Structure 1
């Protein structure tokens, strides 16, 4: 298998895994984890997420680790894909809006 084929297979698997996460599974997350997941879809680094959320970078990492574990995901890529897939469900009034994501 070529390197490109391996990357495509891994990407396909990550997308399938992210889409398979049920909306009900998001209820296992704390409000703060849901907020972190919501803004994660913007593709910002942990440092920028920390600044946006007003928390330490290591706290962002801890939240992402917890989200990954609770949703039974394997990587930050899968977590980000879940964020994009369930973005409308994760949004909450009163929270700072995540960066705009070009989906077209």
Structure 2
């Protein structure tokens, strides 16, 4: 009987309580302030591309990639590449 109660309780916890993705850090309102190139860089960062790969794909130097990424991070209000990546993944459809 106790196992049945646990199963019912587990279902009660799950039904009607859909799993929710955590909200990424960063300011979604800042997306409109990103330049076209910054959006391109962020899209590539959020699919786990490294700076070298991004530079080759966009035909720019690695230093320029770093500069764009620094600008993106400042504008959206995150402090590291991982946060920028999660932000970009969450709002990819807006980039």
Q: Which residue of 2 aligns with 1:47?
A: 52
- Contiguous gaps of at least 5 residues in structure 1: 1-14, 91-104
Q: 2:30 aligns with which of 25, 28, 38?
A: 25
CA contact (8 A) 2:24 2:90 kept: no
Q: 1:84 aligns with which of 54, 75, 89?
A: 89
Q: Which residue of 2 aligns with 1:68?
A: 73
- Contiguous gaps of at least 5 residues in structure 2: 1-21
Q: Secondary structure at the match of 1:79?
A: helix
Runs of 4+ in 1 over 6 A off after TM superposition: none
Q: CA deviation at 1:21?
A: 2.8
Q: How many residues align?
A: 74
RMSD: 1.5
Q: TM-score, normalised by structure 1?
A: 0.65
Matches within 5 A, 1:7-26: 16-18=23-25, 21-22=27-28, 24-26=29-31
Q: TM-score, normalised by structure 2?
A: 0.70
Query: Partners in 1 of 2:59 and 2:24 — Cα distance?
Result: 30
